[in-house]
């Protein structure tokens, strides 16, 4: 059974009454214990997708979905109280920037203990120390009373992870958890994520703009473009044999050590302005293989004979 | 860091020292003078400052120095209690309006606008006229009319803080609204509220003095700086000391509160520093 079912999820932000669509009908599901990578460039809607299932959106956002179900519970019908119980409870979230997502005036121990208080039966210093150890931080007793500014970025992100897993969630959502960190710290955090996911049997939704990070780390990969999933399949399959022209372009533009190039091939053009999306396929204006049918919105559908689904008229024959 | 900046700020330092001296003198009033503030000696009416009465005597032969020391206790108490009421109210209203937004914000801020519409002193006069003038009523009325400015300040700060990542994170971790408001947001408001409260104490002392001057504040024979001053106006041409000293007490106290407040602002609020 699926742990998380998302069907036709739409989120639109309104700025001065002007609608800015961030997600335009996203459909996917996630099984218990499975990990799904969400890749896309800035503005593709990936950070919105990370927080939308728990409906943690700013006041100027409107959300709709045909189905939004977590662990058998309909999130579209859930009360604010139910949603609050899920946030930090059955669904843990790690945010992008560990430098700003911890409160500077509260101690590390206090902030972790608070999550226990709300979701795991009460304050308990011993469990906080165990959690700090669980995220591989040395000297938990010293860290307990430390303030965030006394910690390095990697340490802070580990603290955020400890908060996210404090209530033993079934699903962990990580929104670019390593973007703000240096490369060595990145690796440590990703390895820790892997380890925690396996040990705690959590499902993982890992959002990133760095496709390279997802290799070997997620079961499936979804590529997001202009608020839609354009390709979805087993990570290895998508990365080695990309079906969508956008995925192909994205992968071609990754630097490789085995190949010396004077200049990296880049995708032509800019991501579309959410206020003026082209009709039909959102990628068609940048696509070298665009043809007449692209003026019709493509649907995400399985590619014959392969485990991937793609939203492109080049695949799938007759509509 | 913050401490060192504060001590470098001479203005704040001077204000704080003066204020401490005034407060200590008021608190220790009974020990500093053996003369009763309301002890009348009609044989010694309107005596100018001398050895036995440093600041002179009033029309009933009461020692002005003793009345000012004891009056300081009243005036400072009014200032502190009124500001405490105003800080609690203003902070609660501002926090709720800024954090919840929407209709909560609309209702609370319209309430603020309405309170601000009335000229405060007339509002206070009206209320005092209906209730009886007493120390408690004066403190309450000043407190309940002076919170809107603070509510606006706190609302503005809260609007900014609400969008900070750690508040989003706290919501993402499913913490309750009261927890986020009082544990995660409130500590970040201490600096601006403290500055505003310090300046507010000065304002409240002035209002109390004005009320007492008009006879609607602290009632005789209890001394407050305002009613000592009011009493002096009838004898302005024969006994200057009756008006000068209470006036100076009010001036110096409010001035040192303002200096302290400005100094605190420079120290605690990096944005206001030039």
Digit-coded pLDDT (tens) for B237-249: 888 888 898 889 9
Which of B103, B105, B166, B179 best probes binding to A when mutated, by most A CB atoms within 10 angstroms? Answer: B166
Residue A206 contacts residue A217 (beta carbons within 8 Å): yes
- Residues 211-240 (A) with a CB less than 8 A from some CB of B: none
Give the per-residue pLDDT at A27. Answer: 93
Question: Is a pLDDT exceeding 60 seen at residue B91?
Answer: yes
Nearest Cα neighbor of B267 from B7, B10, B2, B19 is: B2
Contact A88 B183 (CB under 8 A): no
Give the per-residue pLDDT at B269. Answer: 63
Residue A173: closest CA among chain B residues belongs to which residue? B172
Chain B CB contacts of A106 below 8 Å: 183-184, 187
Give the bridge partners for A68, in sequence order. A6
Which of B165, B174, B176, B268 best probes binding to A when mutated, by most A CB atoms within 10 angstroms? Answer: B174
- Rounded-to-integer distance, Cα A10 and Cα A8, Å: 6
Average pLDDT across chain B, whole number: 85
Contact B172 A51 (CB under 8 A): yes
The dihedral region occupied by A121, where left means phi > 0, alpha psi between -120 and 50, and beta the remainder, is left
Phi, psi of A3 (to 5 degrees): -80, -45
Contact A56 B187 (CB under 8 A): no
Give the per-residue pLDDT at B3. Answer: 61
Higher pLDDT, B217 or B159: B159
Give the per-residue pLDDT at A143. Answer: 94
Token digits of residue B10: 């001479």
Contact A118 B174 (CB under 8 A): yes
- Residues 155-194 (A) with a CB less than 8 A from some CB of B: 160, 163-164
pLDDT tens-digit readout, B19-47 = 999 989 888 877 777 777 777 777 777 77
Q: Is A82 exposed, middle or buried, given 0-12, 13-18 or 19+ CB atoms closer than 10 A?
A: middle
Phi, psi of B252 (to 5 degrees): -65, -40
Q: Which residues of chain A have pLDDT under 50?
A: 318-319
Contact A95 B171 (CB under 8 A): no
Average pLDDT score over residue span B100-119: 91
Omega before A244 within 30 of 0, i.e. cis: no
Give the per-residue pLDDT at A292. Answer: 86
The ipTM, to two decimals, is: 0.88
Give the per-residue pLDDT at B274. Answer: 40
Average pLDDT score over residue span B185-203: 89
B159 in A contact zone (CB under 8 Å): no
Residue whose structure tokens are 């972790």: A112
Question: Is a pLDDT exceeding 60 seen at residue B272?
Answer: no
Q: Cα dist. B207→A48, A194, B77, B198, B211 in Å?
A: 52, 65, 13, 15, 6
Confidence category of residue B5, pLDDT binned at 50, 70, 90: low
Question: Is a pLDDT exceeding 80 seen at residue B74?
Answer: yes
The dihedral region occupied by A8, where left means phi > 0, alpha psi between -120 and 50, and beta the remainder, is left
Chain A CB contacts of B270 below 8 Å: none
Measured in angstroms, the CA of A120 and the nearest CA of chain B are apart by 12
H helix runs in chain A, sequence order: 46-51, 80-86, 108-119, 125-134, 140-144, 153-165, 183-200, 235-240, 245-252
Measured in angstroms, the CA of B37 and the nearest CA of chain A are apart by 48
Token digits of residue B84: 């405490």
How many Cβ pairs within 8 Å bridge chains A and B? 64
pLDDT tens-digit readout, B121-149 = 888 888 888 888 788 888 898 899 889 99
Using DSSP's 3-state secondary structure scheme, residue B15 falls into: helix
Give the per-residue pLDDT at B271. Answer: 55
């Amino acid at each position: 059974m699926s742990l998380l079912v998302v069907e036709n999820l739409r989120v639109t932000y309104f700025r001065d009454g002007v609608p800015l669509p961030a997600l335009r009908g996203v459909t996917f599901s996630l099984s218990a214990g499975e990990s799904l990578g969400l890749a896309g460039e800035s503005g593709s809607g990936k950070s919105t997708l990370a927080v939308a299932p728990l409906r943690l959106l700013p006041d100027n956002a409107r959300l709709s979905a045909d189905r939004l179900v977590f662990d058998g519970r309909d999130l579209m019908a859930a009360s604010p109280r139910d949603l609050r119980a899920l946030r930090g409870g059955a669904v843990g979230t790690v945010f992008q920037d560990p430098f700003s997502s911890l409160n500077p005036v509260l101690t590390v121990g206090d902030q972790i203990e608070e999550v226990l208080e709300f979701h795991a039966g009460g304050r308990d210093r011993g469990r906080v120390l165990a959690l700090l150890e669980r995220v591989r931080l040395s000297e938990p007793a010293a860290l307990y009373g430390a303030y965030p500014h006394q910690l390095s970025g990697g340490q802070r992100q580990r603290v955020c992870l400890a908060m996210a897993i404090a209530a033993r969630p079934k699903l962990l959502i990580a929104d670019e958890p390593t973007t703000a960190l240096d490369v060595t710290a990145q690796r440590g955090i990703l390895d820790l994520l892997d380890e925690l996911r396996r040990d705690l049997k959590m499902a993982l939704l890992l959002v990133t703009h760095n496709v390279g990070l997802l290799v070997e780390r997620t079961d499936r990969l979804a590529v997001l473009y202009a608020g839609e999933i354009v390709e979805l399949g087993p990570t290895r399959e998508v990365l080695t044999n990309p079906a969508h022209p956008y995925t192909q372009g994205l992968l071609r533009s990754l630097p490789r050590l085995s190949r010396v190039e004077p200049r990296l091939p880049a995708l032509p053009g800019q991501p579309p302005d959410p206020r003026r999306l082209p009709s039909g396929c959102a990628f068609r204006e940048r696509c070298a293989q665009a043809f007449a049918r692209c003026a019709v919105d493509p649907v995400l559908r399985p590619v014959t004979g392969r485990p991937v689904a793609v939203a492109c008229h080049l695949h799938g024959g007759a509509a | 860091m913050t401490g060192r900046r504060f001590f470098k700020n001479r203005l704040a330092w001077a204000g704080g020292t003066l204020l401490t001296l005034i407060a200590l003198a008021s608190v220790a009033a009974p020990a500093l003078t053996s003369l009763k503030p309301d002890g009348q000696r009609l044989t010694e009416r309107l005596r100018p400052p001398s050895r036995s009465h440093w600041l002179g005597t009033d029309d009933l032969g009461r020692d002005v120095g003793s009345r000012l020391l004891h009056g300081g206790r009243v005036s400072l108490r009014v200032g502190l209690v009124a500001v405490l009421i105003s800080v609690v109210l203003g902070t609660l209203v501002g926090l709720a309006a800024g954090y919840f937004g929407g209709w909560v914000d609309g209702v609370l801020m319209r309430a603020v606008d309405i309170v601000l519409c009335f000229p405060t002193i007339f509002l206070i006069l009206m209320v005092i006229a209906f209730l009886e003038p007493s120390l408690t009523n004066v403190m309450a009325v000043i407190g309940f009319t002076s919170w809107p400015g603070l509510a606006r300040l706190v609302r503005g700060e809260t609007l900014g803080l609400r969008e900070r990542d750690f508040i989003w994170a706290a919501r993402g971790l499913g913490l309750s609204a009261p927890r986020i408001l009082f544990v995660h947001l409130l500590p970040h408001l201490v600096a601006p509220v403290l500055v505003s409260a310090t300046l507010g104490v000065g304002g409240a002392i002035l209002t109390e003095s004005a009320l007492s001057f008009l006879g609607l504040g602290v009632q005789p024979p209890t001394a407050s700086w305002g009613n000592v001053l009011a009493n002096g106006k009838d004898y302005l041409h024969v006994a200057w000391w009756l008006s000068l000293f209470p006036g100076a007490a009010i001036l110096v106290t409010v001035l040192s509160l303002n200096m302290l407040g400005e100094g605190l602002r420079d120290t605690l609020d990096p944005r206001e520093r030039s």
